Amino acid sequence: MYVSSTSEQSITSGPAGGGEGGAVQFNNAPVLAGTALSFTAPSTINILESGLYSIEWEVFPLPPAEPGISVFALFADSVLVAGSNYGSRDDTNPYTGQVLASLSAGVALTLNRFDDTGGGVTLNPTIIGNPIINASVLIVKIG
């Protein structure tokens, strides 16, 4: 499955100490192959078959007014997917994450902010007036 976004959106930070913050929303129709996954708009990837999944994600934030830190991570039923948390010291763009995860059928997977630095991180919808993909998730069942 591949889901992506071209919408400007502000993603809120997580709670003090880090944790599940605002979820990235995807506005483009998902590309699906097979029966292992489905998508519920605007943010949820549904795991329909238990197995090992290769997951890659990317976000493209606008540079902040002041230097900051932001971290994004995958959450399975609101629990951090170990090894999926990646970030940037200056909200520079883009940045990516990747992980292999054993996921059970029935799990709801989302891409969320994970830092507790406050404020919103805005995902950039254009570069020099040209629309771009500002967030995406690619997930493949491999076993």
Indicate whether 93 pLDDT > 80.
no
Indicate whether 89 pLDDT > 80.
no
The structural domain count of the chain equals 1
Residues in the chain: 143
- Any idea what the CATH number is for the domain that residue 126 is in? 2.60.120.40
Q: Which comes out higher in pLDDT, residue 119 or 19?
A: 19
Q: Give the mean pLDDT of the chain.
A: 91
Indicate whether 132 pLDDT > 70.
yes
Q: Which domain holds residue 24?
A: 2-141
- As a whole number of Å, the end-to-end CA separation of the chain is 15
Strand (E) positions, 13-78? 37-40, 44-47, 51-59, 70-76
